[in-house]
């Protein structure tokens, strides 16, 4: 099952030109991403906003993730304060596997953000040779500078578009992982009804994808979304510590 490390900014000293700070607004974006991630069957571990970027890197490096996603807003150099605008998505340069994956995901994020940013030409994927959160993680990583918080128009755009920004990033993740994007739906409870056999929880909504866990007949599942494909109807679910997809005909939805 796809799993990411979600790392919104911990920089509460980076003040917005009009209201609050970078940490506050980037954590709102991460908050808004969570329902989309769950609905689309993507597991996540999230950093602690009370700690530092060094702590976030260290926590991320305790495990391996399909992508480390850092979410920040930008500031212009002092001599150009308030003048720059746009979104920059930073990736790891190089030819090793993590660098290739990092660049691929950065390009996908850029294409999604171009759909919602007022001036798409100012949305770019860029290599970095300085950003630790991209270069020092064991997993492939990108750092998304959503827009410039010292520019009034950009700051207002972020504040007025928390939900679309969150949706765009998750849409990019589903494209990257090759799984369906699902809009958040009311969380429901289902009961496994197989007639006795275990129900396979799979990494993707197909019968030939990896089995990540088994749920016994009668088990209770948390259902985040449903989707239709050529393989029939599937639910994105959580059972105990596993997140994945189950074939819907083997699950009875409990009425609320």
Is the domain of 244 the same as that of 135? Answer: no
Is the domain of 109 the same as that of 236? Answer: no
Is the domain of 159 the same as that of 203? Answer: no
Residue 256 has pLDDT above 70, yes or no: no
Residue 182: inside a domain: no
Q: Sorting pLDDT into bands at 50, 70 and 90, what band is 64? A: very high
Is the domain of 92 the same as that of 123? Answer: yes
Is the domain of 121 the same as that of 228? Answer: no
Is the domain of 173 the same as that of 243? Answer: no
Query: What domain range is 118 assigned to?
Result: 3-177
Name the E strands within the chain. 3-8, 43-46, 67-74, 87-91, 123-127, 141-148, 188-192, 199-202, 211-215, 220-229, 232-239, 242-247, 251-253
Could you tell me which residue, 78 or 155, shows the higher pLDDT? 155
State the Cα–Cα distance between residues 110 and 103, nearest whole angstrom.
11
Q: Sorting pLDDT into bands at 50, 70 and 90, what band is 2? A: confident
Predicted confidence (pLDDT) per residue in 102-149, tens digit:
999 999 999 999 999 999 999 999 999 999 999 999 999 999 999 999
The residue from 139, 155, 177 where one domain ends is 177
Q: Sorting pLDDT into bands at 50, 70 and 90, what band is 204? A: confident
Residue 199 has pLDDT above 90, yes or no: yes
Residue 113: inside a domain: yes
Number of separate domains in the chain: 2
Is the domain of 171 the same as that of 198? Answer: no
Residue 241 has pLDDT above 90, yes or no: no
* Tokens 């009009």 found at: 18
Q: Give the list of residues 6+ apart from residue 46 with CB closer than 8 angstroms, or none.
A: 5, 6, 7, 8, 30
């Amino acid at each position: 099952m796809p799993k990411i490390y979600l790392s919104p900014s911990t920089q509460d000293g980076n003040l917005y030109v009009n209201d609050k700070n970078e940490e506050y607004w980037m954590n709102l974006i991460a908050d808004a991403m969570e329902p989309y991630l769950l609905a689309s069957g993507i597991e996540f571990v999230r950093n602690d906003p009370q700690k530092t970027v060094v702590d976030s890197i260290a926590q991320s490096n305790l495990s391996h993730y399909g992508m480390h996603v850092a979410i920040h807003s930008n500031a212009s150099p002092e001599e150009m304060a308030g003048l720059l605008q746009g979104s920059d998505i930073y990736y790891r340069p190089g030819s090793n596997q993590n660098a290739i994956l990092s660049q691929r995901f950065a390009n996908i994020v850029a294409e999604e953000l171009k759909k919602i940013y007022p001036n798409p030409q100012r949305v770019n994927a860029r290599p970095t040779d300085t950003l630790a959160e991209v270069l020092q993680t064991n997993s492939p990583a990108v750092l998304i500078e959503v827009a410039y918080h010292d520019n009034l128009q950009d700051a207002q755009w972020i504040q007025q578009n928390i939900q679309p920004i969150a949706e765009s990033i998750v849409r990019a993740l589903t494209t990257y992982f090759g799984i369906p994007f699902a809009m958040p739906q009311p969380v429901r409870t289902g009961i496994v009804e197989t007639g006795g056999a275990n129900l396979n929880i799979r990494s993707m909504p197909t019968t030939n994808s990896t089995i990540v866990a088994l749920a016994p007949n009668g088990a209770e599942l948390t259902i985040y979304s449903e989707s239709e494909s050529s393989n029939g109807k599937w639910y994105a679910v959580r059972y105990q510590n596993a997140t994945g997809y189950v074939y819907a005909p083997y699950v009875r939805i409990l009425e609320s």
